[in-house]
A and B are shown apart, each in its own frame.
Chain A
Amino acid sequence: MSFSMHREGDITVVDVGGQLIVGNRQELKQKVLDELEKGDRRFLIDFAQTGYIDSSGLGVLVSLSKKIREQGGELRLANLNEDLKTLFELTKLDTLFQIADTRERALESF
């Protein structure tokens, strides 16, 4: 599992490698909150390299979405595979997040 972060223009892109689960969710949360604290407001989390996400991982995404919105920012998601799409549909989180099929489309959508 790993999280990497880089900038594309004024958008902070986070790549989630491996799983986003109870054992590592705090690491992702802290990395994003640190950038929010520094003034970043546009965030894209890319799941192209992600295996599975548990309820704790989903909870962190909801939490980050709220905190970023409170600061006037936006969090968008990209590259959910079929299983992750199923997970988001089951939990209705596909209605909360703006989700793009590709990173490029997500970046264009800001």
Chain B
Amino acid sequence: MGPLHDRAPCGPGGERFAVAIPSDVGRIEGVVEQVVARCVARDYPRQACALNVPVALTEALANAIVNGNGEDAAKRVEVRGCLDDRELVLEVHDEGAGFDLTASTNAPDDPDFVLREDGRGLFLMQALMDRVEQYAAPRAGNVVRLTLRRTA
């Protein structure tokens, strides 16, 4: 699996986009708004635009900023996307040394799942997306790829 720019082009009429921000959690919402607007414009299902995409992308961006880049303001996070009539693919790139996406992850089967204050990030990404993958970026950094198939 390679990074998005090495993959086959988006489907017919598909669009690529990219946006980069500094490692500041306060910048997450603006990126999410941009991506959601593209989904709305392409008439993706309401729940995908209001829940699945914003929550999963927020989780991936927060991971990249906090766990990937250690909130180092000198490091950036980039979202590369491909949106067509079949699916949305989002890749969140950080510049960190890599992190374990599954670390401190909590699962609904854990006895203390409900009472824990953290550990729901990966669970939510997996619950709200069709596919969540992580790999090392070709030169440096880490990538989390989210894929959501269009269902209606």
- The answer to whether A and B belong to the same complex is yes
List A contacts of B58 (CB < 8 A): 19, 21-22, 52, 54
Main secondary structure of the interface of B (DSSP, over half): helix
- How far apart sit A22 and B26, CA to CA, in the bound complex (Å)? 8
Report if B4 contacts A (CB, 8 A). Answer: no
B84 to chain A, nearest CB (A): 24
Question: Could you say which of B72-80, B85-93, B111-119, B136-144 contacts chain A?
Answer: B111-119
Highest count of chain A CB atoms <10 Å: which of B51, B108, B113 = B51
Report if B120 contacts A (CB, 8 A). Answer: yes
List A contacts of B108 (CB < 8 A): 91-92
Within 8 A of B (CB), among A65-110: 66, 82-83, 86-87, 90-93, 95-96
Q: Is the CB of A54 within 8 A of B47?
A: no
CB-contact partner of B28 in A22, A93, A96, under 8 A: A22
Q: Is the CB of A83 within 8 A of B124?
A: no
Total A-B pairs in contact (CB under 8 Å)?
77
Q: Is the CB of B55 within 8 A of A54?
A: yes
Report if B29 contacts A (CB, 8 A). Answer: yes
- How far apart sit A83 and B52, CA to CA, in the bound complex (Å)? 9
Q: Is the CB of A51 within 8 A of B25?
A: no
Report if B54 contacts A (CB, 8 A). Answer: yes
